[in-house]
Amino acid sequence: MPQHYFEELDYLPAEEVLAWGIRTFSDSFGISTSFQKSGMVILDMAFRLSPNVRVFTLDTGRLPEETHAMIDMVRARYGAKVEVVTPDPREVEAMVRQHGSNLFYTDPSLRLLCCHVRKVKPLERKLAEFRAYAVGLRRLTSNTRNEIRKVEVVKGAIKLAPIADWTRQEIDGYIQRHGVPTHPLYARGYTSIGCAPCTRATAEDEDERAGRWWWEQDARKECGIHFTANGTVGRQLDVLIQGVSPAPGARAH
């Protein structure tokens, strides 16, 4: 479907956008979440519309224990069969062997390589099962996200961001009204939560995503799922990816 087909949906309330996705795509529709506040709002909203919505999440192998606890909580609270997606162990092994376990602290291209192996490629493989999926992205969380549409076509799949125009206060208000469970790390000062080594708490005067990859002072704070590297870093990343990609036909052991 061409992008202009979805233009009217960008003006609809979040619930209506999500209801359209569930109604239109049925079992080929899913919720992609890392169980942060925005993702939990989407998940809660979806299960109020349908008890059979598919939910999937990425387990990078470096998640904090609190995120694993959220997976268990969501399964118990909503009856969701959370589909856990993991990276290719061959690629992880090759990456760690060549660059070390904590390669992400060394250089932006190596950090993006780690994200590519642990997040981007597993997500791409999972999305092959869906015609459409919803995420909790918002325009106001980062200057790299201020052009997010509520519905857009990304690499052949239809990506919904129903709360793209919500503020932080609207997110918190929904959570309070509906008693939505929140990730335990928020109580410890976190405002954006990812892998354990790459996330820290933030100060009151910092941007919401300041705690992600905080050592990269001049880099764009994205993992590659919502941002494609270009320029020198992009070229370096392309070379690094080739170095950890398994040969065609190779099997995982």
What is the set of active-site residues?
Answer: 223
By the 10 Å C-beta count (0-12 exposed, 13-18 middle, 19+ buried), 153 is classed as middle
Residues 48, 50, 55: CA angle, nearest 5 degrees: 95
29-32 vs 54-58, strand pairing mode: parallel
**Separation of CA 142 from chain center:** 14
Q: What's the rounded Cα separation, in Å, for the pair 124 and 209?
A: 24
Query: The tokens of 216 are what?
Result: 């990269």
